[in-house]
Structures are given as C-alpha cells and as structure tokens.
Amino acid sequence: MKKVLSLAIICLMAAPVSAAVVVDGSLVGDGYGTALAVQENETSFGDNKSELNAGYGFIDGGKLNLFISGQVESNFNKLEIWIDAAAGGQSVFASAGNDGAGAMDGLVFDAAFTPETHIIVRNGNAGADKFDLDFANLLTNAVTSQFSIFGASLTGSGTVAAGPATASPIEVGYDNSNVLGVGGAFPGTPAAGVAEAVTTGLELVIDLADLGYAGGDIRVSAVVNSGDHSFASNQVLGSLPTSADHLAGLSGVDFSAIDGDQFFTIVPEPASLALAGLAVIGMCCTRRRS
C-alpha cells in the first residue's frame, strides 16, 4: 500500500501545474514569469499605437500560452506572428494565400527559425469596431479565420472557432489600454525597464497539436506591419538592434543578416520534465520489487 501511495504522489508531482490563466490581455496573475524578449527600439509607428514591448510564454497542459505586451493601431495595421514548433518549416516565407500576406513572400528568417504557422492579428472599424485573426498552416496552406472575435469591440476576450487549420479553438484576449512602454522618439532607444513595465496586450492560448508540436522548444517571431503587409515598422520581437529604422517591405528583408535573433524561445519547464522522469523511475522500482 505504501508503494502504491508513494508512486501516486510522485505521479501527481510530475503532472503539469496549470495556473488558472485568465485570457484577458493582461499579464497580472497568470504566471508568465519574466520577459523572453524585450523591445530595444522606440516605435516608428506612433507611441501607444503600434508597439511591441515584450514577449512572454509558457507550455502547459497541452497548450502554448503566448503573451505580447503593447498594442497594434486600430486602423487594420497587422501584427504578424510566426511560430516554429515542429520540424520542416519555412526558412523563406511563402504565404498560405490569405489576407494579401503574399506581399511578404521572400522574407528570409533567422537560420535557427523555420516556422510552420503564421498568425495575422488586425483591428479597426469597418462600419463597426472589430478584431480579427487568421491562423495559417504554412505546410498545408490551410487557414482558420475568425472575424469580430469580441463582437463590435476592439478589446475583450473571445475564441477563434476550430477551422480548416485548427482542430481546437484558440483563446484570445486583447487589452489596448497601455500608455507605458517604449515611446515614439524614433529612431531611439527606450529607457531601461520601460518595456517590461507594460502588463497589457495580446494573449493567445493555442492547442499544441494545432502547431504540430512533438516536444522541445517553441520559437516565436512578431512584427508590426502595415494594413496591406507591404511596409513593416521597427517593432520586432526578438528586437532589432537599437535605433533601428523601419523594415519597410518584408519581401526584401533577410533576418539572418541582422544582428541578434528576431525571434524568442519558449522552453518547456525543466522541473516538469524532471518530475516526469522521477515518476517513471519510481514505477520501474516498484515493478522490480513486486
């Protein structure tokens, strides 16, 4: 009985500890920890309009929890997000064909970054306020789209329903109330600590299976772009070098030729992996003694 109880305790310890994440576009109380990427540039697209301050994330319970602090101007400018969670992704971007994203075809990613997923986030007023999201599988060109996720509102919490590219819903939260973070003194370098001070922005919870995830690190890149995907700002995570100019047309950009990584890495919790291994060892020992 003691052996069974001990094994049960180990297994419970090894199970992921899922924080009660409230998907509302706020970092507060959600256990994201420290920033994985921090902005090193004042925004070239307008202070408190289009800025990416910092990137956060964790993997838990079969989900990727991703948070990008800041906001995107409500004029249908685009937040481009690429995710590398599996093998066999793209080293040079080729759009799935949605939303005119082909304007970026030819973008060269960092050598260690080969995404399989492209997410487009946009918001503005087209007769009514709306917040839309596209999720494209770059390996199959399947696209899941959801329009007016928060109803007739630019902010809130909502869900992208399962679709051609996703077997499970995507949880979405967005809060654009930030007035902190990087400023608009472009070109320039923000004061130390201001980017990390921002606690609101875009929050996504995505099923790992929809990312093709089979284990290991997940890498994410994010860029603020124009409404037609043809003129990108200097707001990139991982950050461009300090005092960077607009990227302009992404089809002519080679991230591998720019200093630093224009992506950030989300690493699975090592404690969970170690405890899982401990559970396996405990099971083996119990079997040998029985």
Q: Looking at residue 215, what is its pLDDT? A: 96
Q: Looking at residue 12, what is its pLDDT? A: 41
pLDDT band at residue 285, thresholds of 50, 70 and 90?
A: very low
Q: Looking at residue 154, what is its pLDDT? A: 98
Q: Looking at residue 271, what is its pLDDT? A: 46
Residue whose C-alpha is closest to residue 67's, from 115, 112, 126, 19: 19
pLDDT digits (tens, 9 = 90+) for 172-214: 999 999 999 999 989 999 999 999 999 999 999 999 999 999 9
Long-range contacts of 224-227 (CB under 8 A, 24+ apart): 224/43, 224/45, 224/50, 224/51, 224/52, 224/72, 224/77, 224/78, 224/79, 224/80, 225/77, 225/78, 225/79, 225/80, 225/104, 225/250, 226/77, 226/78, 227/75, 227/76, 227/77, 227/78, 227/122
Cis-peptide, bond into residue 163, ω within 30° of zero: no
pLDDT digits (tens, 9 = 90+) for 241-277: 999 999 999 999 999 999 999 999 999 986 444 433 4
Quick one: what percent of the chain has pLDDT higher than 70?
A: 86
Q: Looking at residue 19, what is its pLDDT? A: 54
pLDDT at position 129 over 90: yes
Residue whose C-alpha is closest to residue 76's, from 136, 151, 154: 154
Q: What does the mean pLDDT of the chain come to? A: 89
pLDDT digits (tens, 9 = 90+) for 87-98: 999 999 999 999
Q: Looking at residue 177, what is its pLDDT? A: 95
Mean pLDDT throughout 151-165? 98
Q: Looking at residue 47, what is its pLDDT? A: 79
Distance of CA 271 to the CA centre of its chain: 23
Quick one: what percent of the chain has pLDDT higher than 90?
A: 82
* Dist. CA 54–CA 27, nearest whole Å: 11
Give the domain ranges of the chain: 1-16+269-290, 21-268
**β-pairing verdict for 218-225 and 232-237:** antiparallel
Q: Looking at residue 230, what is its pLDDT? A: 97
pLDDT band at residue 46, thresholds of 50, 70 and 90?
A: confident
* Dist. CA 278–CA 284, nearest whole Å: 10
